[in-house]
Amino acid sequence: MYELREYLPDDYAACRALWVELTQHHRDIYDAPTIGGDDPGADFDEYLEMENRAISWVATLDGGVVGLTGLLIEGSEAEVEPVIVTASQRGSGIGSALVNRAIGEVRDRGLTSIKVRPVARNASALQFFHGAGFQTLGHVELFMSLGESKREWNSEIAFHDREWRD
Ligand SMILES: CC(C)(COP(=O)(O)OP(=O)(O)OC[C@H]1O[C@@H](n2cnc3c(N)ncnc32)[C@H](O)[C@@H]1OP(=O)(O)O)[C@@H](O)C(=O)NCCC(=O)NCCS
């Protein structure tokens, strides 16, 4: 059975590897092998240094780290970032346990809201977060690709009487 605990410096290598898995997931869904650059684990180093990173937790199984989450906090608002479960252990409740730990922490701290910002094409994450209680849409980020973008956009999505791509 998995266990949850706070992130410790000894978890660094395992969590950096989890971050690489998150990047790989994004590379897969966008069919874009350059996402995250040559060293995608470097984004985990930046994450650790973020001034608003309040706390991070890991899930462990048989002594090994299999999941990571954390909270960024600005004033009375919290953001869950990241949520990653290693691919071989997905679908067994670890992601839910991590997110529920984060929600509980936000309640305990008396903060007023908690958000998460998955990319629009991350359907499995959107379904996961919806099930975890994130069912209110906040800000929506819109953009247009300029220049030499080779990325293929797909899935026409109806939202407020318009069609969108992700
Ligand atoms: C999203 C993620 C954290 C979920 O973790 P998990 O441990 O697999 O999730 P759980 O087992 O707790 O699943 C809880 C519920 O989420 C939903 N869910 C989980 N994975 C899903 C998937 N691939 N597709 C659709 N729904 C999914 C299910 O409703 C599930 O409930 P069920 O067990 O009753 O079926 C994990 O799949 C992951 O690491 N994905 C890659 C990284 C990522 O995209 N992170 C989010 C970035 S914002």
129 within a domain of the structure (yes/no) = yes
157 within a domain of the structure (yes/no) = no
Ligand 1 center to residue 104 CA distance, Å? 19
Ligand 1 atom nearest to 81, measured from its CA = 48
pLDDT at position 150 is: 73
Ligand 1: residues within 6 Å at CB? 22, 25, 83-85, 90-96, 118, 122, 124-125, 127-128, 131
Domain span including residue 53: 3-138
Per-residue pLDDT tens over the stretch 63-111: 999 999 999 999 999 999 999 999 999 999 999 999 999 999 999 999 9
**What are the DSSP calls for 94-156, one per residue?**
HHHHHHHHHHHHHHHTT-SEEE----TT-HHHHHHHHHTT--S----------SS--PPP---
CATH of the domain at 33: 3.40.630.30
Ligand 1 center to residue 91 CA distance, Å? 6
**Total domain count, the chain:** 1
18 within a domain of the structure (yes/no) = yes
149 within a domain of the structure (yes/no) = no
pLDDT at position 156 is: 86
The residue ranges of the chain whose pLDDT is under 70 are none
123 within a domain of the structure (yes/no) = yes
Ligand 1 atom nearest to 119, measured from its CA = 48
Length of the chain: 166
Ligand 1 center to residue 95 CA distance, Å? 6
pLDDT at position 147 is: 81
Count Cβ atoms within 10 A of the Cβ of residue 104 and give its class: 0-12 exposed, 13-18 middle, 19 or more buried.
exposed
Ligand 1 center to residue 125 CA distance, Å? 6
21 within a domain of the structure (yes/no) = yes
165 within a domain of the structure (yes/no) = no
Please give the model's pTM, rounded to 2 decimal places.
0.96
If you search the block for the tokens 């960024």, which residue do you land on? 72
